[in-house]
Structure 1
Amino acid sequence: MKLEQSNLIVKRAHKEVYKTEEGIVKIFGKEHPKADVFNEALNTARVEATGLDIPKVKQVTQIDGRWALVIECKEGKTLEEMMNVDPANLEKYMEDFVDLQLQVQSKRNPLLNKLKDKLARQINELKDLDATARYELLTRLESMPKHDKVCHGDFNPSNVIVGKTGKMTVIDWAHATQGNASADAAMTYLLFALKDQKKADLYLKLFCKKSDTAKQYVQQWLPIVAAAQLSKENEMEKEFLMKWIDVFDYQ
C-alpha cells in the first residue's frame, strides 16, 4: 500500500492518518507498542458487535516496517468543525452530541476492558503525583459505583463525523472500555474545558439533564479522570489538569 503525502489528513507525534481508496489508514510510529495497535482493532470490533454503526476495521498490517490499521471511511465533516463555523446553533449541536453519547452508553459488551482497571493503572504510573495523592485518588476510584456501559474514553466533537444526511458516526475507539457513564462524561467535560469553558459548562448541563444525573456526581469523577489525562504527559495540559487533581475539592 502506497501512501501519498497529499492524502495525509492528520499528523501527530506517534501516528499519521491518511485517506486512501482502501479507507482510512492509521500508521503508527516505530516505537508505538504492537499490542496497542491490536488492542485498538479488538476494541473497535467489540464495539461494532454491540450494534453501533461505527467505521469497521478492515485490516491490521505493516507499512514500511510500521504497524497500521485500515479502517472504513465515513464521509462528512467533524462536529467540531460545525460547532466552530456555526456558533449560533451550538446548543442544538451539543444536544445532538449528548444524545449520541447516551446512545453509545446504552450498549454493553462484557469483553471490553474495564474502565476502573485502566484508570487505576494510569494513576499508579503517574510520576507527577506523590504516593499520598495517588493513594487518595485510588481510594476515591475504588469507592465509585461499578457499571458496565460502553465508554468511548475520548468522546469529543472531533471524533464525531456528520454525513450529508445529518447522520452522526463516532470514530476512534482506541480508548473504549466498559464502565461508569459519568466517568466518561467527566472526561468529555475536561476535554471541552481544555479548549473552551463555556462549551464545557453547556455540555455538562445538557448531559446531566438528559441522563438525569446529578452534576455533583459527575464532578466526583473529575480528579480521577484528570489524573488519567495527565498520564498522557502533554505539557500544555499539565497545569490545568493538576488543578483538578486536588482530591479534597469535592469531599
Structure 2
Amino acid sequence: MKLEKSNLIVTRSYKEVYQCEDSIVKVFAKSHPKSAVFNEALNTVRVEETGLAIPKLKEVTQIDGKWALVIEHKDGKTLEEMMKVDPANIEKYMSDFVDMQLAIQEKQAPMLNDLKEKLARQINSLTVLDATRRYELRTRLESMPKHTKICHGDYNPSNVIVGKNGKMTVVDWAHVTQGNASADAAMTYLLFALKSQENADLYLNLFCKKSDTPKQYVQQWLPIVAAAQLEKDNELEKDFLMKWIDVMDYQ
C-alpha cells in the first residue's frame, strides 16, 4: 500500500493516520510496541462482535517496515466540528453524544481488558507522584465498584462521526476496556474540561440525568482517571490533571 503525504490527516508522536479512499490507515512508529498494535486490533474486533456499528478492522499489515492497521472509513463530520460551527444547538448535540455513550455502555465484551486493572497499572507507573499519593489513589480505586460495561476510554466529540443521514459512528477504539461506566464518564468530563468547563458541566449534568447516576459518584472517579492520564506525560495537561488529583485532599 502506497501512502501519500497529501492523505495524512493526523500526526502523533507514535503514529501517522492517513485517509485512503474507503479506508483509514494508522501507521505506527517503529518504536511503538508490536503488542500495542495487535491489542488495538483485537480490541476493535471484540467491540465489532458486540453488534455496535463501528468502523470495521480490515487488515493488520506492515508499511515500510512499520506496523499498520487498515480500518473502514466513515464519511461525515466530527461532532466536535458541528459543535463549533453551530454552538446554538450545543445542548442537542450533547444530548445525542450522551445517548450514544449510554448505548455503548449497555454492551458487554467479556474478553476486553479490565479497566480497574489498567488504571492500577497506570497509577503504579507514575514517577511524578510520590508513593503516598499513589497508595491513596490505589486505595480509592480498589474501593470503587467493579462493573463490566464497555468503556471507550477516549470518548469525546472528535471521535464521533456524524454521517449525512445524521447517524453517529464512534471511532478510535484503542483504549477500550470493560469496567465502570462512571469512570468512563469521568474521563470524558476531563477531556471536555481541558477545553471548556461550561461544556464539561453540561455533559456531566446530562450524563447523570440520563443514566440516573449521582453526580458525586462520577466525581469520585475524577482523581483516579486524572492520575491515569498523567502517564501520557503531556506537559500541557500536567498542571490541569494535578489539580484534579489534589481534589482528593478535600473530598
- TM-score, structure 1 as length reference: 0.99
Cα distance, 1:55 vs. partner? 0.3
Q: Where in structure 1 are there 5+ consecutive unaligned residues?
A: none
Deviates more, 1:11-20 or 1:164-173: 11-20
Aligned to 2:67: 67
Residue 164 of structure 2 aligns to a residue whose secondary structure is coil
- Kindly indicate whether the alpha-carbon contact (under 8 Å) linking 1:133 and 1:247 is maintained by their aligned counterparts in 2: no
CA distance, structure 1, for counterparts of residue 85 and residue 15 of structure 2: 27
Aligned partner of residue 68 in structure 1, secondary structure: strand
> Within 5 Å, which residues of 2 pair with 1:4-15?
4-15=4-15
- Give the residue type in structure 2 aligned to 1:156: N
Structure 2 vs 1, CA of residues 226 and 214 (structure 1 numbering), >3 Å: closer, same or farther?
same
CA distance in 2, matches of 1:214, 1:160: 26
Secondary structure of the residue aligned to 1:221 is helix
Q: Distance in 1 between matches of 2:188 and 2:97?
A: 11
Q: Is the 8 A contact 1:113 1:178 kept in 2?
A: yes
Q: CA deviation at 1:22?
A: 5.2
Write the deviation string for residues 49-106 of structure 1: whole angstroms up to 9, x where unpaired: 1110000110001100111000000000000000001000000000000000000000
**Identity over aligned pairs, percent:** 78
How many Å apart are 1:205 and its aligned residue? Answer: 0.4
Equivalent position of 2:50 in the other structure: 50
Question: Counterpart of 1:81?
Answer: 81
Q: 2:119 is paired with a residue of what secondary structure?
A: helix
Counterpart residue number, 2:123: 123
For 2:2 and 2:61, locate their aligned partners in 1 and report how far apart those are by CA, in whole Å. Answer: 13
Alignment of 1:97-116 (within 5 A): 97-116=97-116
| Local SS of the residue matching 1:231 | helix
Show CA shifts across 1:156-185 (max 9, x none): 000000000000000000000000000000
The aligned counterpart of 2:150 is 150
Greater shift in the superposed pair: 17-26 or 183-192: 17-26
Listed as ranges, the gaps of 5+ residues in structure 2 are: none
Which residue does the alignment assign to 2:135?
Answer: 135
Secondary structure of 2:70 counterpart: strand
In 2: Cα distance, 1:16 partner to 1:22 partner: 17
What is the CA distance between 1:248 and its match in structure 2? Answer: 2.7
Q: Does the CA contact (< 8 Å) of 1:147 and 1:180 recur in 2?
A: yes
Distance 2:249 2:105 in 1: 27
Are the aligned partners of 2:94 and 2:203 in contact in 1 as well (CA < 8 Å)? yes
Paired AA for residue 4 in structure 1: E
Kindly state the Cα deviation for residue 12 of structure 1 after the two structures are TM-superposed: 1.4
Q: Distance in 2 between matches of 1:56 and 1:99?
A: 22
**1:171 is matched by which residue type in structure 2?**
V
- Name the CA distance, whole Å, in 2 between partners of 1:94 and 1:248: 28
Aligned residues between the structures:
251
Q: Structure 2: how far apart are the matches of 1:11 and 1:200?
A: 26
Letter in structure 1 aligned against 2:236: M
Alpha-carbon offset, residue 21 of structure 1: 3.0
CA distance, structure 1, for counterparts of residue 199 and residue 62 of structure 2? 39
- Residue 212 of structure 1 corresponds to which residue in structure 2? 212
